[in-house]
Structure 1
Amino acid sequence: MRRVAKLSAACFATAALAITATACGSTSSDNNSSSSSSGGGKGVKIGLAYDVGGRGDRSFNDSAARGADKAEKEFGGSIKELTAKTSDTEADREQRLSDLAEAGYNPIVAVGYSYAPAVTKMAAKYPKTSFGIVDSVVEGKNVNSITFTEEQGSYLAGVAAALKTKKDHVGFIGGVDNPLIKKFEAGYTQGVHDTNPKVKVDVQYLTHGQDTSGFSSPDKGQQAAQGMLDNGADVVYTAAGSSGNGAIEAVHGAKGAWAIGVDSDQYNIPGLAQYKSAILTSMVKNVDVGVYDFIKSVKDGKPLAGNNVYSLAKGGVSLATSGGFINDIQPKLDAAKQKIIAGQIKVKTTP
């Protein structure tokens, strides 16, 4: 049985050395840095530094967690998890990675582009530790950059939206207006317009600049989606971490409307079960595969390094078929997929 205990970052160093982890009064939330550990004994010691939302966001972080869980199950050992808070500074992110390295966790996976500067610094400080970073490219002999072609998967989501809308009006909600999320927007919009140029695409970002709360605010996601529905959209694609949960809830409340999930197959997420009848599909980003591959490489003594890109051709991104709601348009989606893989369709990475 896995033994999990919540720890604050402040008590991490002591807890990491303890035989039995004990609670230090902090819980995992958008506003509190937290950690948890599981297992023990021989095997690989996996350190996970989550983005805001952490394990339980039903999206991006959960996908990374699945990869680590699979590795732990297969290889044994332990997992230490630390979760970012929306008010994090560079010093906070550096400390989080340093805490893991000092406690002997190897590999350490930083989940999210915001860790890039911290990984650059800590990888140089701890050259014998293998670092992985999701969604950003960091140079370093001991750094594995795990990236994805989000624009390609989002293109297919756009094709699905254009084929399913009855109002020729769809929407895109992004968590934060940064280059990564704009890849989602660019692919989606291109997919919509290549399929039907008459379809209108509304675009809204929940937060801007350094404010990352757009990835962990379901209320903002719900409000944005409701606004799009009120404005006439009947398909809404949200790339915003746990904020997308609110968007899905709003869409479920609108008759005939569809939500498109992201990162995980959100139709099959237990916490979203009551809304799954409105989840058309999800643009699945297989972060779990990238994280598992990295951990396995370290366990095998041949750590991955450089930029490892998980593309549509490699199964790095895909559209979920759960629910059967896209069965009727699957041939057209398959045709678009093959054109992307063959290079006949060049998907944009900027809007």
Structure 2
Amino acid sequence: MTLMKSLMGAAASLALTAGAALAEPALIFDLGGKFDKSFNEAAHNGAQRWVEETGGSYREIELQSEAQREQALRRFAEAGSNPIVTMGFAMADPLGQVAADYPDTKFVAVDVTWLDAPNVRQIGFAEHEGSYLVGMMAAMASKSDTVGFIGGMDIPLIRHFACGYAQGAKAVNPDITVVANMTGTTPAAWNDPVKGSELTKSQISQGADVIYAAAGGTGVGVLQTAADEGILSIGVDSNQNHLHPGKVLTSMLKRVDVAVYEAMKAGENLETGVFSMGLAEEGVGYALDDNNAPLVSDEMKAAVDAAREKIIAGEVSVASYYENDSCPALSF
């Protein structure tokens, strides 16, 4: 089990007197909590894998407010944690303020790729590529020719997911309707399953019979309501197929767990710089297991796997929302 330690007091004193002892890594979860069934939980799973393989321990904190971001970074750095792994794009500004003050500490920024910070490992994911594949699956599974997308906080990252999803759906059926909604414009949008449920019912009323949720903890409400209303859903980040067996078509895997595991495994020898994890690096993909196998036909799997290989080979190009702040397949 994870060894829970205070960010203050004894932990700081121990770090200062430990001498040659190896520094413990630290993990800062984003708002929504480490058991959000999605983004944060993937990070937790990666850290736990490292613990199980090495017998090591790490410090952690589940943020409760925006104000804690910089505070947590500084307290972990002062306590001697190395590397310090951070989750989510909102850690970019605090890292920009803090990393330079601790040049001998390595930091990891998941979902951040634009900092000028030599001691930060910045990891981005090609979410649009993985979302393209599950968009294809949604279109192939849909009987109504209408599919939905429910995002969390309305930011370019989540529009990036939606854009790939719409392109994949329209590659299968150019006439398909893609209904898209965002949960909100503040970080609270990541943890509002009630609003997720409401948006799901609204999209069902518009004809959607497959809905993809890229909304953190809010997605739990989307998947639950989709199952209750008799339509299919698509999970995100972690494999969420097991939450409603036979009702979740697939999950778009974003291998945050691998990014966190590899960072902790590297320890103080962590290589910094900007890294991208797409289909070619197996950083994104789709989930197939006993829970959704009856829903995924051989034809569906063959088509998606063929598209995956073509994207990796450069034969199919998936447009990125980041390129021009718009999406050719979807209007927001």
Tell me the TM-score normalized by structure 2.
Answer: 0.89
Instruction: Output the CA distance in 1 between the equivalents of 2:84 and 2:216.
Output: 21
Instruction: Output the CA distance in 1 between the equivalents of 2:154 and 2:2.
Output: 38
- Choose from 250, 268, 274 the match for 1:281: 250
Which residue in the other structure is 1:34 paired with? none
Instruction: Output the CA distance in 2 between the equivalents of 1:81 and 1:129.
Output: 16
Instruction: Output the CA distance in 2 between the equivalents of 1:197 and 1:185.
Output: 16
Q: Does 1:310 align with 2:285?
A: no
Do 2:2 and 2:57's aligned partners in 1 also have CA atoms closer than 8 Å?
no
Q: CA RMSD in A?
A: 1.8
Which residue in the other structure is 2:324 paired with? none
- Choose from 264, 282, 296 the match for 1:326: 296
Which residue in the other structure is 1:29 paired with? none
Instruction: Output the CA distance in 2 between the equivalents of 1:150 and 1:195.
Output: 19
Instruction: Output the CA distance in 2 between the equivalents of 1:139 and 1:130.
Output: 14
What is the DSSP-based 3-state SS (H/G/I as helix, E as strand, rest coil) of the residue aligned with 1:277?
Answer: coil
Do 1:145 and 1:305's aligned partners in 2 also have CA atoms closer than 8 Å?
yes
Q: Does 1:200 align with 2:193?
A: no
Number of residues paired by the alignment?
312
Encode CA deviations 1:79-98: one digit per residue, 9 max, x unaligned. 1111222x414xx3111111
Instruction: Output the CA distance in 1 between the equivalents of 2:254 and 2:297.
Output: 20
Q: Does 1:239 align with 2:214?
A: yes
Within 5 Å, give how 1:249-260 maps onto structure 2: 249-255=224-230, 257-260=231-234
Q: Does 1:125 align with 2:101?
A: yes
Do 1:139 and 1:306's aligned partners in 2 also have CA atoms closer than 8 Å?
no
Do 2:3 and 2:57's aligned partners in 1 also have CA atoms closer than 8 Å?
no
Instruction: Output the CA distance in 1 between the equivalents of 2:21 and 2:191.
Output: 35
Which residue in the other structure is 1:48 paired with? 27
- Choose from 223, 233, 237 the match for 1:263: 237
Instruction: Output the CA distance in 2 between the equivalents of 1:3 and 1:204.
Output: 37
Do 1:153 and 1:318's aligned partners in 2 also have CA atoms closer than 8 Å?
yes
Residue 46 of structure 1 deviates from its aligned partner by 1.6
Within 5 Å, give how 1:136-215 maps onto structure 2: 136-137=112-113, 138-208=115-185, 211-215=186-190
Which residue in the other structure is 2:17 paired with? none
Q: Does 1:134 align with 2:110?
A: yes
Pick closer, same or farther for the CA change 1:141–1:76 going to 2, 3 Å. farther
What is the DSSP-based 3-state SS (H/G/I as helix, E as strand, rest coil) of the residue aligned with 2:9?
Answer: helix
Which residue in the other structure is 2:46 paired with? 67
Residue 75 of structure 1 deviates from its aligned partner by 2.9
Residue 77 of structure 1 deviates from its aligned partner by 3.0
Unmatched segments (≥5 aa) in structure 2: 15-19, 322-326, 328-332
Tell me the amino acid that sits aligned with residue 261 of structure 1.
G
Instruction: Output the CA distance in 1 between the equivalents of 2:245 and 2:21.
Output: 40
Pick closer, same or farther for the CA change 1:296–1:4 going to 2, 3 Å. closer
Which residue in the other structure is 2:330 paired with? none
User: Bigger CA drift: 114-123 or 278-287?
Assistant: 114-123
User: Bigger CA drift: 243-252 or 323-332?
Assistant: 323-332
Which residue in the other structure is 2:9 paired with? 14
Residue 158 of structure 1 deviates from its aligned partner by 0.5
Residue 298 of structure 1 deviates from its aligned partner by 2.3
What is the DSSP-based 3-state SS (H/G/I as helix, E as strand, rest coil) of the residue aligned with 2:70?
Answer: helix
Tell me the TM-score normalized by structure 1.
Answer: 0.85
Residue 17 of structure 1 deviates from its aligned partner by 4.7
Tell me the amino acid that sits aligned with residue 340 of structure 1.
I
Do 2:2 and 2:48's aligned partners in 1 also have CA atoms closer than 8 Å?
no
Residue 123 of structure 1 deviates from its aligned partner by 0.9
Pick closer, same or farther for the CA change 1:236–1:3 going to 2, 3 Å. closer
Instruction: Output the CA distance in 2 between the equivalents of 1:289 and 1:335.
Output: 24
Tell me the amino acid that sits aligned with residue 181 of structure 1.
I
Residue 200 of structure 1 deviates from its aligned partner by 0.4
Encode CA deviations 1:38-86: one digit per residue, 9 max, x unaligned. xxx965512111111121111000111111112222233321111222x
Which residue in the other structure is 1:347 paired with? 318
User: Bigger CA drift: 198-207 or 290-299?
Assistant: 290-299
- Choose from 51, 64, 69 the match for 1:93: 69
Tell me the amino acid that sits aligned with residue 45 of structure 1.
E
Tell me the amino acid that sits aligned with residue 301 of structure 2.
Q
What is the DSSP-based 3-state SS (H/G/I as helix, E as strand, rest coil) of the residue aligned with 2:161?
Answer: helix
- Choose from 217, 228, 234 the match for 2:192: 217
- Choose from 85, 103, 106 the match for 1:109: 85
Runs of 4+ residues deviating >6 angstroms: none
Instruction: Output the CA distance in 2 between the equivalents of 1:123 and 1:112.
Output: 16
Instruction: Output the CA distance in 1 between the equivalents of 2:146 and 2:23.
Output: 49
Unmatched segments (≥5 aa) in structure 1: 20-40
Q: Does 1:58 align with 2:58?
A: no
Q: Does 1:77 align with 2:56?
A: yes
